[in-house]
Structure 1
């Protein structure tokens, strides 16, 4: 799902790599999972068990960024920063792909730490996924863009209404009011978030407003700056249509800054769940990463 924004980013990156010193510039594709995470091994960047077979193409030099998806965003965010320090500093650059609450993890990271001083690392992780210092510091991380599969940055009404295990701290973070107040979603360090919004909901997800993917509604997966009932073109009983690109919804609700709807599931073909096999909306993002993350 290319765009003028992405085309410009690719061109700038290609120029930067050509101009860089010959030695060591490397691109990586980091995958950050969402709630729970399927028993993944924290610090093991080769463990793609949450996503699907690791042999599948999912972007250049792909790495799995694993965290305890039952715990709070803040308590686990250090693992995301470790990965970004490892692979996205110095002459190295990263593409980021996230799913569900992984959207909150990268959003929280960029909003709170995106302008912080980072030690440049050697991209050689040791125990726990921490890399050694390569010498020098930089401000923030070298990130080309973020692909977001059914992002939960705006929270989910399923968390609001106790449809998930309320004892898990991540559920508190996923309540819509908490998610939207947790960090400034407009502050991304000028990194673009490409939103991939799925809409194959079911009857039991009727608690979710507008179009949804069984777990998260379009107001979140589309990166809309306010809650609301947003749908595909032509659907009835909605506040407005979720438009593609950076345009506001049809009733004038703006997206967060540096967010663009790259894919809207107008045919209601994809739900939220990857099923350990790169399925549904994760599969759409995987294909995007395989095509453009090089």
Structure 2
């Protein structure tokens, strides 16, 4: 029996219920839920929520991402492991005093992870979803704004941003029904739906990025393999140097656009 009164039979029942619901890692998930539960009744309620498809991270109220514990609220996008590539690229590009902007910030996970690696940066974050903004404010120290893309950012940041992190929604609208129920039913559509080819929001960010980036500054955004060519075209059309970064282990692709001082080649 645990300190909260959760017995071994209760744990066995929790594992069985999670397995029956299709949870592949039932034992691990039961342990996480038991660790977060205040007692047997709370665990029972949590198991019921998980069996109905609610993301584990939303149920326990946090996600462990890229070396940081990120607070989560129900209905907020859960950070994905593959987004660690965005964090690494951002952290490698900044020094203390650099300005980092996290657009479409969701819970603020990306910005929080960059801050952990580079504590001296000046971080700003924004999202169009009020629930996500409230969650990001749980995780970040100030400078979290509510609004559409660049609209809520302070004008004083124009031309001064070293890294523009933009983990935009990039699922093509027709593919939304194919997403796992965890995402489809429990994460906001605004965090998933990228339009006809998944690049509508990406193109809007890229088009506005040059006005906010400092010379040499970069914009970073996740894309899929099928989106590589049009994403590179969008970066070049905005006058940015276009590059693609890939991590085989994470199966992650990041489109990188850099604002150069001279002509783009």
TM-score (norm 1): 0.33
TM-score (norm 2): 0.35
Specify which structure has the higher proportion of helix: 2
Q: Which has the higher contact order (CA 8 A, sep 6+)?
A: 1
Structure of higher CA gyration radius: 2
